[in-house]
Amino acid sequence: MTKHIVLLPGDGIGPEIIDATQQVLETIAKQFKHDFTCETQLIGGSAIDSVGTPLPDQTVEACKQADAVLLGAVGGPKWDQYPSHLRPERGLLGIRKALDLFANLRPVKGFDSLLNASPLKQEIIQGSDLIIVRELTGGLYFGTPSERLANGDVVDTLAYQRYEIERIIDKAFQTAQIRKKKLTSVDKANVLESSKLWREIVEEKKTNYPDVVVNHELVDACAMKLITNPTSFDVIVTENMFGDILSDEASVLTGSLGMLPSASLAENGVGLYEPAHGSAPDIAGKGIANPIATILSAAMLLRYSFQMENEAEAIEKAVEKTIESGYHTADLHVNGGKQVNTKEITKMIIKQI
């Protein structure tokens, strides 16, 4: 099959992990006799530096024409003092909005051989396998007004249109139907109006999915249970910012934020695949970043955008075998095993495909 992929390396470790993942995709193409063409476009701080905007029109156009998009990460200290509309993160938010990527799927599944890499007790995290379905194009990230007022006060706006909540709740129920049929809807309905509507819509929708058991949880308690009883979760659905925070927290179950992939999907149209982590400025340029979150995001790309289940599994199995054989990057604090760099772990994964 011939497919066209737009690569958005971005900033910090972005180019390092995209380079590694492109090699993995090339290996899959060769092995399974596909023709993947890749095109690189600008986003984030590197786009600001080259063309003065975090999201050039050319990037948006290229993504719209692509069969799938793979993103590294954006941001870094260099641009932290830039005005809001000129921050690298605006590029990421802009492309999510432009492609209507309302559903961000963040699977969290640890490998048995990494149980001792987590600071959490092994008996608590063993067997944890959950997915966070994060609303990605609404809420506090996109509400207006969001500004500094003339008197020096500030305002951000948490707004949701009914249809925006309905479509992510449907996506979550459908995700639960093909898993363990257990859905936890996470909100702050004891305080927020948007959460009250969120809860009402979950209650309305659940009659359409009688095979799914659904419960509601407040976000603060959920944050606690996520690390004290992670195996009690299957699918978690939540609004944009709660999902952002809970997914970084959940990455602790796997041993490192560098392990967490994600898929950002539209109703119809191109999907964008991105690790859950950021540009890791503290390790950028050192060649030691963990490429696995991005490599597993590429597996999600093959599964969801190209319907290439066997190819996706080939990548996932290769990552698992590599980790099981004791090799890991420096972000994973494993007892024993052997520490390797980005290029070395990528080579090992490729060898296992």
Interface with ligand NAD, residue 35, by CB under 6 A: no
- Figure out which of the listed residues 75, 110, 139, 271 binds ligand NAD, where binding follows CB under 6 A: 75
Q: Respond yes or no: is residue 220 known to be catalytic.
A: yes
Distance CA 286, CA 332 (A): 16
Q: Is 280 annotated as a binding residue?
A: yes
> What's the closest the beta carbon of residue 244 comes to ligand IPM, in angstroms?
4
- Please answer whether residues 224 and 250 qualify as being in contact, where contact means their C-beta atoms are separated by less than 8 angstroms: no
Question: Nearest 5°: CA angle at 175, between 171 and 181?
Answer: 125
Tokens of 95: 């492309």
**Residue 145, preceding peptide bond in cis (omega within 30° of 0):** yes
Give the C-alpha distances (Å, rounded to integers) separating 99 from 81, 92, 133, 351.
27, 11, 18, 35
Per-residue binding string, ligand IPM, 227-256, x by CB under 6 A, is -----------------x------------
> What's the closest the beta carbon of residue 88 comes to ligand IPM, in angstroms?
8
Stretch that binds ligand NAD, among 19-27, 122-130, 180-188, 281-289 (CB under 6 A): 281-289
Per-residue binding string, ligand IPM, 58-97, x by CB under 6 A, is -----------------x-------------x--xx----
Q: Which residues contact 353 (CB under 8 A, 6 or more apart)?
A: 24, 27, 28, 31, 314, 315, 318
Q: Which residues contact 237 (CB under 8 A, 6 or more apart)?
A: 132, 133, 135, 168, 169, 171, 172, 183, 184, 185, 186, 202
HSE-CB of 182 using CA atoms within 13 angstroms = 9
Sign of the four-CA dihedral 120, 121, 126, 128:
negative
Q: Which is nearer to ligand NAD, 189 or 323 (CB)?
A: 323
Stretch that binds ligand NAD, among 70-78, 119-127, 151-159, 169-177 (CB under 6 A): 70-78
Interface with ligand IPM, residue 276, by CB under 6 A: yes
Distance CA 228, CA 125 (A): 8
Please identify every residue annotated as catalytic. Answer: 141, 188, 220, 244, 248
| Chain residues in the site for ligand NAD (CB under 6 A) | 13, 73-76, 89, 92, 257-258, 274, 277-283, 289-290, 293, 331
| Chain residues in the site for Mn ion (CB under 5 A) | 244
| Chain residues in the site for ligand IPM (CB under 6 A) | 75, 89, 92-93, 244, 276, 278
Residues of each annotated binding site: 76-89, 96, 106, 134, 220, 244, 248, 278-290
